[in-house]
């Protein structure tokens, strides 16, 4: 923290993620148009949108794989452009596509990631055991990733995203390809993380049943524009829909905007 | 300290991957050994023996061609490494690397250094086998050449890294072999002295003499005989700086190289 300028909300609260008026274009194609959203600490914000809505572009901007042409992104109050290192240090990510090295063991994969964050080997070992233990994966620590099933690989990726104790977790369609019980377990794990550790979570998906209507925030993105955002139940009430599926269908069909 | 841990982590991973990919190690050796033990025998008859610097006496063609084949190992390793970067970018592990909080130039340089280290292992394995067949350089030259291999490896790796930043899809990488690797290799002093080239074509001689790979090979050739080729050292260092800068530029977020495939 120390010397880094951190923007606090009124009341001393710092948002885990603040995206302000961000736009991005691929040539003539507008991928994101004036997108703003906030993820508070301990909050799960489910980013819903069909394929091509701009979810992956938004994630690429938050992870600084791409640079926004306009707007600003702050992670725990640190601007991504001016305090890149501090901001990215607070970020844990599970990408849509698996990124584990299949030839290496679980421990080797996790140690590699810890080194990318400059974590010492001893500290990394402690974090690895803690996170794998929490996800009931400690028995697999020395197994080759190639021998793990899809659900266990995803758990390892979640453990990896948490090794450096991030304040913001980005999940880019992490449950794609998982069976229903494994998906449910993954969703429960992430909600437990948010409530127990106060981690802010931005969860991109198009699987609406992953939203906890009572607890989660939702942001519906379509054709690069935010169509609705807020507490799931409040958004449904405001737009006059009984189910989130119907609201989503309505906002993301053709032109959007219910 | 965290920068050092990052470098060690990337190097360690590269070495682990290397040990898991023994096929890659052997195929990297088969190519230059075929050139040395088959192709060079035929070429020897055509080119004959000659005296050129740094050699102090007539040398056989096999002896002449060894530095070029060392360069070939590093050239192909550099391209293989960049091929794996294109693949990594497509499957996502490159994205994981680039989202580390450490500066991007350091992450890319660390990845490059790790890959160079692997190529140095391959080079020494090749030199050992060549030695067993009786093709040896100055004994002390084997030590002398080590820092040179780091420089030449960095040059060839950074060319590969720059290319990987510009290539959108894995399928396009085949073109690199035709338009970059083969011209670089054949338009160099790897297989024939530039003096021979000049006798037949002034234009080709000129192209060879500005090819960074020629200077990498000459740097290796002189180092194996415990000499420094200052011109080649300067040229190689300059080209390394240029291509490394271009590679880092190619992976800048505002260039979007890491996400263009999506």
Angle between helix A121-134 and A106-116 (nearest 10): 120
In a domain, B262, yes or no: no
Q: Is the pLDDT of residue A228 over 80?
A: yes
pLDDT digits (tens, 9 = 90+) for A56-98: 899 999 998 888 889 999 999 999 999 999 999 999 999 888 8
Which residues in B lie closer than 8 A to residue A119 (C-beta atoms)?
2, 5
List, as ranges, residues 7-66 from A with C-beta within 8 Å of B: 56-57, 60, 63-66
What are the φ and ψ backbone dihedral angles of A230, each rounded to 5 degrees?
145, -170
**pTM attached to this predicted model:** 0.83
Nearest residue in chain A measured CA to CA from B93: A99
- Residue B2: CA atoms inside 13 Å, Cβ hemisphere, count? 15
Whole-number pLDDT of residue B149: 97
Least confident piece of the model among A233-237, B41-45, B95-99: B41-45
Interface test with A, best of B21, B89, B95, B109 (most A CBs within 10 A): B95
Range of the domain at B152: 2-250
pLDDT digits (tens, 9 = 90+) for B211-248: 999 999 999 999 999 999 999 999 999 999 999 999 99
Which residues in A lie closer than 8 A to residue B111 (C-beta atoms)?
none
Q: Which residue in B160, B109, B257 sits closest to A64, CA to CA?
A: B257
Tokens 């609260």 appear where? A13
Whole-number pLDDT of residue A1: 38
Contact across the interface for B93 and A85, Cβ inside 8 Å = no
Ordered by start, the domain boundaries in chain A are 1-90+166-174+200-258, 96-165
- Number of structural domains found in chain B: 1
What is the value of ipTM here, to two decimals?
A: 0.80
pLDDT digits (tens, 9 = 90+) for A168-213: 999 998 888 778 888 888 898 899 989 999 999 999 988 888 888 8
Contact across the interface for B98 and A95, Cβ inside 8 Å = no
Whole-number pLDDT of residue B6: 93
In a domain, B261, yes or no: no
DSSP string covering chain A: -TTS--PPPTTS---SEEEEEEEEEETTEEEEEEEEEEE-TT-EEEEE--TTSSHHHHHHHHTTSS--SEEEEEETTEETTTSHHHHHTTEEEE-SS--S-TTSBHHHHHHHHHHHTT--HHHHHHHHHHHHHHTT-GGGTTSBGGGS-HHHHHHHHHHHHHTT--SEEEEESTTTT--HHHHHHHHHHHHHHHHHH--EEEEEES-GGG--TTT-EEEEEETTEEEEEEEHHHHHHHHT-S-HHHHHHHHHSTT---
In a domain, B229, yes or no: yes
Cis check: omega of the bond before B54, within 30 degrees of 0: yes
pLDDT digits (tens, 9 = 90+) for B118-166: 899 999 999 999 999 888 888 899 999 999 999 999 999 999 889 888 8
Q: Is the pLDDT of residue B262 over 60?
A: no
Residue B36 pLDDT grade (very low, low, confident, very high; cuts 50, 70, 90): confident
In a domain, B259, yes or no: no
Whole-number pLDDT of residue A4: 45
Which residues in A lie closer than 8 A to residue B13 (C-beta atoms)?
101, 104, 108, 112
Mean pLDDT, residues B64-83 taken together: 90
Nearest beta carbon to residue A63 from set B10, B16, B99: B99
Q: Which residue in B64, B99, B106, B55 sits closest to B193, CA to CA?
A: B64
List, as ranges, residues 91-130 from A with C-beta within 8 Å of B: 91, 93, 95-101, 103-104, 108, 111-120
- CA distance linking residue A114 with residue A158, whole number of Å: 13
Whole-number pLDDT of residue B166: 81
CB pairs below 8 Å between A and B: how many? 103
Fold of the A1-90+166-174+200-258 domain:
Rossmann fold (3.40.50)
- CA distance linking residue A50 with residue A205, whole number of Å: 8
In a domain, B257, yes or no: no
Contact across the interface for B95 and A99, Cβ inside 8 Å = yes
Whole-number pLDDT of residue B261: 39
Tell me the two tokens of residue B227.
């000499």
């Amino acid at each position: 923290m120390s010397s880094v300028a951190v923007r606090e909300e009124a009341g001393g609260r710092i948002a885990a993620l603040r995206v302000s008026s961000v736009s991005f274009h691929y040539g003539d194609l507008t991928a994101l148009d004036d997108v703003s959203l906030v993820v508070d600490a301990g909050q799960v914000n489910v980013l819903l949108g069909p394929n091509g809505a701009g979810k992956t572009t938004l994630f690429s901007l938050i992870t600084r794989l791409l640079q926004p042409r306009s707007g600003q992104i702050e992670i725990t109050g640190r601007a991504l452009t001016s305090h890149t290192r501090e901001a990215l240090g607070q970020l844990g990510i599970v990408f849509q596509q698996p990124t584990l090295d299949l030839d290496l063991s679980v421990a080797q994969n996790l140690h590699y990631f810890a080194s990318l964050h400059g974590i010492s080997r001893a500290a990394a070992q402690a974090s690895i055991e803690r996170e794998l233990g929490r996800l009931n994966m400690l028995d697999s620590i020395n197994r080759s990733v190639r021998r793990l099933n899809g659900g266990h690989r995803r758990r390892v990726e979640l453990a990896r995203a948490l090794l450096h104790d991030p304040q913001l977790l980005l999940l880019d369609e992490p449950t794609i390809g998982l069976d229903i019980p494994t998906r449910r377990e993954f969703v429960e794990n992430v909600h437990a993380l948010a409530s127990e550790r106060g981690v802010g979570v931005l969860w991109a998906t198009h699987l609406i049943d992953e939203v906890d209507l009572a607890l989660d925030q939702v942001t519906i993105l379509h054709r690069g524009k935010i169509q609705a955002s807020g507490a799931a139940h409040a958004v449904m009430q405001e737009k006059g829909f009984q189910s989130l599926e119907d609201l989503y269908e309505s906002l993301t069909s053709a032109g959007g905007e219910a | 300290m965290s920068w050092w841990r990052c470098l060690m982590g990337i190097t360690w991973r590269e070495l682990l991957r290397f040990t898991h990919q023994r096929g890659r190690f052997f195929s990297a050796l088969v190519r230059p050994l075929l050139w040395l033990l088959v192709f060079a025998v035929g070429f020897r008859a055509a080119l004959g023996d000659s005296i050129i610097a740094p050699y102090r006496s007539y040398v056989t063609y096999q002896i002449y061609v060894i530095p070029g084949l060392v360069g070939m190992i590093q050239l192909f390793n550099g391209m293989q490494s960049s091929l794996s970067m294109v693949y990594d970018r497509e499957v996502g592990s490159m994205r994981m690397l680039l989202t580390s909080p450490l500066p991007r130039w350091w992450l890319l340089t660390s990845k490059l250094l790790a890959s160079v280290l692997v190529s140095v292992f391959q080079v020494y394995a090749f030199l050992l086998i060549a030695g067993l067949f009786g093709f040896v350089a100055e004994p002390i030259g084997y030590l002398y050449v080590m820092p040179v291999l780091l420089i030449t490896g960095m040059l060839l790796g950074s060319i590969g890294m720059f290319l990987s930043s510009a290539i959108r899809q894995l399928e396009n990488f085949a073109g690199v072999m035709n338009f970059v690797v083969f011209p670089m290799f054949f338009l160099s002093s790897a297989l024939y002295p530039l003096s021979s080239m000049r006798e037949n074509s002034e234009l080709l001689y000129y192209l060879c003499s500005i090819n960074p790979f020629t200077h990498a090979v000459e740097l290796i050739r002189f180092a194996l005989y415990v000499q420094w080729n200052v011109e080649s050292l300067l040229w190689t260092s300059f080209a390394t700086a240029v291509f490394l800068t271009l590679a880092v530029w190619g992976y800048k977020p505002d260039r979007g190289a890491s996400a263009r495939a999506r």
